Structure 1
């Protein structure tokens, strides 16, 4: 059986003079880039430079929208109502869209970040706010997120394409949900991450079948991990192709 998969990473997550990860190296490995939109991380200059590099390398650009929480890196659960999340999604998507246009590209998809990713997966109001904002701007956008969640259902309700995502560097529970980051065994690296990426690409993981695999850009050794995953997947005859 022939397989193909997208490989994505969360990029542009520095701020001002403070870098986060080796984005340029990752852009030489992945097929899609989830670029921070200035809320949980990133700023106008970082967004523009990452979009320019992505366009140069033929990497698809995605808006990594999140709670407006620089101090907590968007990983804290904030008490925002659906209208506020819709407003933030419009604002962040618009900002990255301008940077992408200036770079000669365009935003192809949206992926919520951190706490918003998990909150909107379970809360139909928040999921509808994200999908609704996307539909207001461009119904050709795809929504990237966990399968069989409120995000997938909201995408369908708003006529948007949905792509299921899996994580090479996060451990899954038996029910297919991610182990909480606060647990000591939540993260995977080395051979464990490589093996999980293969299971995800082949549809053999505890997680539902996915169309894209994420390697977090801020994970220690992220570039080496992503490179090993890319080489192993292609070596096993799995085609890497952007979904958008």
Structure 2
């Protein structure tokens, strides 16, 4: 039986501003990537999402990012390696403290947005992130793209491959940048079909029609798109109908 984790980015509001339906998505996903305050989220939201995850048995992950509230963490930044390591460590420790206060803990780390894409190709920035995880808890898995530069600098960390049902892929296996047309797949039927293929066959069709091997253990469904909850429910239902078991990787 194929087994896959379903993760989503949660806690991405800030103050009076809300984004997505965290409680509803927590009823669907098996892992929650919780924003740690640098691209979105604040202490109250972090606490609410952690409490909701613990109540539902959903695994908590730290969604660390560049310090970029205004750009939602999607603007690439040149941050010196020691500073980036410290900032990732800061976010990880903050969320884990809140999670533990709610009876849970951070069980993995997933970089967000521009940082996620940068460390897939940049060994220096990738090492800065892995050093932060090592410093905090080397047992924590790190979620990234298959073939990411993170694998080259893991230094003993557990690296888990992730796939995206609603994102377009380049022939090289990278995500098509969001600024380019067609980067996000909006058709629900197509997203569901891709999710099942990723879980069952371990492949995805790139924008040029070529087939890419993924062999991912976790599948991301974005929580900040229109109809996100209904789409996540449809993905999970289709996976179960295809005989795929959904459970956390961490």
Q: TM-score, normalised by structure 1?
A: 0.97
What are the equivalent positions in structure 2 for 1:8-157 lying under 5 Å apart?
8-155=7-154, 157=155
- Residue aligning to 2:209: none
**Alignment size in residue pairs:** 241
Cα deviation per residue 1:40-86 (whole Å; 9 max; x = unaligned)? 00000000110000000000000000001100000001121111110
Is 1:198 matched up with 2:178?
A: no
In the alignment, the residues of structure 2 paired with residue 57 and residue 5 of structure 1 have an alpha-carbon distance, to the nearest angstrom, of 18
Paired residue secondary structure (1:112): coil
Corresponding residue for residue 164 of structure 1: 161
Unaligned runs of 5+ residues in structure 2 are 205-211
* 2:212 matches 1:214: no
Q: For the residues of structure 2 that align with 1:11 and 1:207, how far apart are their CA atoms?
A: 28
Instruction: Name the counterpart of 2:246.
Output: 240
Q: Give the counterpart of 1:223 among 221, 225, 229.
A: 229
1:10 deviation in Å? 0.4
Match of 2:171 in 1: 174
The answer as to whether partners of 1:146 and 1:152 remain within 8 angstroms in 2 is no
Please tell me the root mean square deviation across aligned C-alpha atoms, in Å: 0.9
Deviation per residue, 1:198-235 (Å, 9 max, x gap): 11112132252100000111011111110000000011
Q: Which residue is 2:208 aligned to? A: none
- Give the secondary structure class of the aligned counterpart of 2:120: helix
CA distance in 1, matches of 2:150, 2:242: 31
Shift of 1:176: 1.7
Runs of 4+ aligned structure 1 residues displaced above 6 Å come to none
Contact persistence 2:144–2:160 (CA under 8 A) = yes
CA distance in 1, matches of 2:173, 2:88: 27
Q: Secondary structure at the residue paired with 2:34?
A: strand
TM-score (normalizing by structure 2): 0.94
Quote how far apart the aligned CAs of 1:180 are.
1.4
C-alpha distance in 2 between matches for 1:237 and 1:12:
30
Contact 2:196 2:242 in 1 (8 A): no
